[in-house]
Amino acid sequence: MKLEIKLQDAVIKSIEALYGQTVTREQLSLQKTKKEFEGHYTLVVFPFLKMSRKNPEQTAQEIGEWLVSNTSEVERFNVIKGFLNLSVSTVCWLELLNEVHSTGNYGIRKADGNSPLVMVEYSSPNTNKPLHLGHIRNNLLGFALSEVLKANGNKVVKTNIVNDRGIHICKSMLAWKKWGNGETPESSGKKGDHLVGDYYVLFDKHYKAELAELQAKGLSKEEAEAQSALMAEARNMLRLWEAGDMEVVSMWEMMNSWVYAGFDETYKRLGVDFDKIYYESQTYLDGKETVLDGLQKNIFYKKEDGSVWADLTNDGLDHKLLLRSDGTSVYMTQDIGTAKLRFDDYPINTMVYVVGNEQNYHFQVLSILLDKLGFEFGKGLVHFSYGMVELPEGKMKSREGTVVDADDMIDEMISTAKETSEELGKLDGVSEEEANNIARIVGMGALKYFILKVDPKKNMTFNPKESIDFNGNTGPFIQYTHARIQSVLRKAAEQSLIIPEALNTDIPLSVKEENLIQQVADYATIVKQAGDEYNPALIANYIYDLTKEYNQFYHDYTILKEENTELKNFRLVLSENVARIIKSGMGLLGIEVPDRM
């Protein structure tokens, strides 16, 4: 923010004038003043004590007096121990609001020809089951992070890697072959991803029954697993797929097409998309070739059984399997192949993987292996590691069919939003079509905001009922405030009030109004911080704080009934810009804000 730079420059001049010393901006600690103290910015004076040769209070007093006497920005100050609290002049705040008001897309930087290219991978579903609540968090984080990085002037490519091969899909295929009787999404009326997921659960049911039968005959759990005929069939199906067996490949293509159609429907409802989708069935061979090339160059080694390994003991880790003894690849091999293809396709500066924190070790190893293989991007890859999401009832297990399905969750959120809105009278006088659209916007806003407001690194419990509260730190509370401001602006237009392009700077403002301008102007800083720290939650919580502050202002001050024309114009301009920032910030999170609620 320009105002902060001006204040920093003024402090630098004060140190030079008072103590004959030169300091840099980096040596200054200038922060927003805490709410319990008077002032807008707080300067920490402890670093200047050697220069002043005085105690903290005296030093702060001298700097404060110099700033009031020699700058137009600082109007008054107060000293609390080694902290100098500065109150900025009203004129500066009005100039700052004019700057925000005249800037088309305040806080957002556009990419240009020299901007770095960031690729963000998210979603990464398996084709043996539908998307669930954990995928919702992944998709929402990946999409929001992509939008935040774009807002920081980066070129962004949103990508997805679909895990469309491996033993997991073979389990669903085998179950469908054995017990499906030719069932299809059309014949069953089920979404394709749900249908295939049902067969994955069915396989597990039969597999557990088989293990129980074998263990009843006296075998240990490990012996039973080794003798499972069902698992042996699934493994054989995987070998046949890798060998290109026409019957197996044909079944695989058919069942995967069902799943893709289902995924696309869910992605559309979530409001997420991708610029490029990769499929492991198309990348794993590149991974195998790259690993075998590494074997020839003695980067990796082969065991007696023919399996290929990486020795990472010099990196403080262990030995890592890259190819099994039967020549089939593992996830790590596939990730190496996918990374190689991506960097062949795009001039990527930074590769970001949005994957849960249970894969921290995996990405630590991937980074080392890519570096050993000579890929420049190896060391620079970013694992955007996030915590697990649970329901109040506890953890979910996809094999047992106890996961919370993404589609069911979306339906429940929209339905609850409609019920709650009707109970509160927020849908009175609107058509059924508009009511349904508002319910969709509110329901999805509640879901997205509740998930995105949490620090990504933390595990979280998603509580559907709590998320749709129209009060508190929720999406609907923010959406309702945006609609409230739009209502004020509509009424202003009905009264033929024209919002000025620029305000006079001699309007008397209250401390609350000055603080609200400061909060609006902070948006640019928050967007940059969210991009630097890979943390969309910073934007979510900033928007909530801004909304809360605006509602207090709305409660305490009149807008349209204000008799002073200059003050009325100021409050309309302030309201309009609060709404713009809310819409922009929520947009970065992939959340719509309605004009009416």
Which of the residue ranges 127-131, 195-199, 324-328, 442-446 would you say has the lowest mean pLDDT?
A: 324-328
pLDDT at residue 1 is higher than 80: no
User: 3-state DSSP call for residue 117?
Assistant: strand
Q: What is the pLDDT of residues 250-306, one digit of tens each?
A: 999 999 999 999 999 999 999 999 999 999 998 988 999 999 999 999 999 999 999
Burial (0-12, 13-18, 19+ Cβ within 10 Å), 168: buried
- pLDDT, residue 399, reads 45
Considering the chain, what is the average pLDDT of its residues? 93
Backbone conformation region of residue 393, classed left if phi is above 0, alpha if psi is from -120 to 50, else beta = alpha
Q: What is the pLDDT of residues 406-429, one digit of tens each?
A: 999 999 999 999 998 888 888 888
Phi, psi of 82 (to 5 degrees): -95, 20
Calpha distance 342→286 (Å, rounded): 11
Characterize 492-524 residue by residue with b for buried, 16 or more Cβ atoms within 10 angstroms of its Cβ, and e for exposed. Answer: beeeeeeeeeebeeebebeeebbbbbbbbbbbb
What is the CATH T-level fold of the domain 2-88, as seen in this structure?
Answer: Gyrase A; domain 2 (3.30.1360)
Looking at the chain, the number of H-run helices and the number of E-run strands are: 22, 14
- Residue scoring higher pLDDT (596 or 93): 93
- At position 195, the amino acid (one-letter code) is L
- pLDDT, residue 462, reads 86
Q: What is the pLDDT of residues 535-546, one digit of tens each?
A: 999 999 999 999
Report how far apart, in Å, the C-alpha atoms of 399 and of each of 183, 474, 533 are.
21, 33, 35
- pLDDT, residue 430, reads 84
Percent with pLDDT over 70 in the chain: 98
pLDDT at residue 396 is higher than 80: no
Q: Which tokens in the block code for residue 294?
A: 């590494």
Cα separation of the two ends of the chain: 34
Calpha distance 441→435 (Å, rounded): 10
Instruction: Give the chain's radius of gyration (CA, Å).
Output: 30
- Count other Cβ atoms within 10 Å, centred on residue 316: 8
- At position 272, the amino acid (one-letter code) is V
- At position 562, the amino acid (one-letter code) is E
Closest residue by Cα to residue 152 from 104, 119, 116, 103: 116
Pair 328, 242: CB distance under 8 Å: yes
What is the CATH T-level fold of the domain 408-588, as seen in this structure?
Answer: Isoleucyl-tRNA Synthetase; Domain 1 (1.10.730)
Is pTM, for the whole model, over 0.75?
yes
Looking at the DSSP assignment, which residues form a beta bridge with residue 385? 355
What is the average pLDDT across 114-137? Answer: 94
Phi, psi of 252 (to 5 degrees): -60, -45
Backbone conformation region of residue 313, classed left if phi is above 0, alpha if psi is from -120 to 50, else beta = alpha
Domain layout of the chain by residue ranges: 2-88, 408-588
Residue 280: in which H helix or E strand, if any?
helix 280-296
Q: What is the pLDDT of residues 495-536, one digit of tens each?
A: 999 999 999 999 999 999 999 999 999 999 999 999 999 999
484: number of CA atoms within 13 Å, CB side?
18
Residue with tokens 């049902």: 198
DSSP 177: H
Residue with tokens 């001039």: 347
